[in-house]
Amino acid sequence: MTYPDITRPTVVGTKEIIMRVFVTGASGWIGSAVVEELVGAGHQVVGLARSDESAAAVEAAGAEVLRGSLDDLDSLRSGAADADAVIHLAFKHDFSAFEESGRTERAAIEALGDVLEGTDKPLLFASGVAMLAPGTVATEDDASPFSGSESPRGGAENLALSYVDRGIRPVSLRFAPTVHGEGDHGFMAVLASTAKEKGVSGYIGDGSSRWPAANRLDVAHMIVLALDKAPAGSRVHGVAEEGVTTKEIAEAIGRQLDVPVESIAPEDAAEHFGWIGAFFGIDMPASSDATQDLLGWTPTHATLLEDLEAGHYTRHLSA
């Protein structure tokens, strides 16, 4: 399949524009870094914003604002219809309404796909490497095991990749379970808060389970490279470290908080860690070798342990 030459620069006012890119989740943890990369690369960016606060952040990053949300499918259609490419990063991270979040994601992909059908335009969308192949090193060749609206993320990856046959260039952006950096409020922040509350930095079992990780800035750069280089139907892995052991993570948090580091029995994980206990003990390493070769991408920013040792997740807890 050949793609239209949407990378040929055009001029808007006095500024040369490469592409007009619609970004959902534009003010989010990963999305805000992606917008900065896109603007820096010469793209014109339109960011979806649900609130006044989000709109202000998108504008401050040098992007236009389109007011809307994942629940407002017309706003998604409008943004996609007026763009040369779509980068869909927004997601409802509500573990108390897991199936509803999946249904919302599936509806968003369907809305974007309907607009882009027959245009050969890129549709890059967020996915993950977690649970692809537990216990073995997941690669880009591993198909997602999740299909259907009731599955994790609504089976959106398989749905979106099937749109190759509808004249779209879908690309799955599979992120590591922890995309880290200063200001991150994800899994590492939850583990640090739990260690502070319990007075113990715990790991499950022998602590040998591995979690892949990537720095937020490296992931943002990978996404912009994928916009230009990733072929239709491809899967790229936002993974800089194949697997950091859960014991190493616990030890780094323990050092920063000056609390003991202890093993938590698997049967006690839910009580000790809460909802994250269901995930923290799973061995789910992942490779990005194929992605690095395909995109010419080399992660260069701080590692997960370096960010933990820098106090990004514990400084506020020690004050």
Per-residue DSSP letter, 240: S
Q: Residue 145's pLDDT is what?
A: 87
Q: What pLDDT is recorded for position 154?
A: 56
Q: What is the predicted pLDDT for the residue at 223?
A: 98
pLDDT in single tens digits along all 319 residues of the chain: 333 344 444 444 444 558 999 999 999 999 999 999 999 999 999 999 999 999 999 999 999 999 999 999 999 999 999 999 999 999 876 656 667 777 889 999 999 999 999 999 999 999 999 989 999 999 999 999 888 766 667 579 999 999 999 999 999 999 999 999 999 999 999 999 999 999 999 999 999 999 999 999 999 999 999 999 999 999 999 999 999 999 999 999 999 999 999 999 999 999 999 999 988 999 999 999 999 999 999 999 999 999 999 999 999 987 5
Q: Which two tokens stand for residue 128?
A: 């993950």
Which residue do the tokens 């749109």 mark? 163
Q: Is the dihedral of CA 219, 220, 223, 224 positive or negative?
A: negative
For the record, the structure tokens of 248 come out as 């190493």
CA distances from 266 to 20, 176, 241, 270, 282 (A): 49, 23, 25, 8, 10
| Spatial distance between the Cα atoms of 144 and 161, rounded to a whole number of angstroms | 10
Rounded to a whole number of angstroms, the distance between the first and last alpha carbons of the chain is: 57
Q: CB of 113 within 8 A of CB of 156?
A: no
The whole-number pLDDT of residue 4 equals 37
- The answer to whether 253 and 191 are in contact (CB under 8 A) is yes
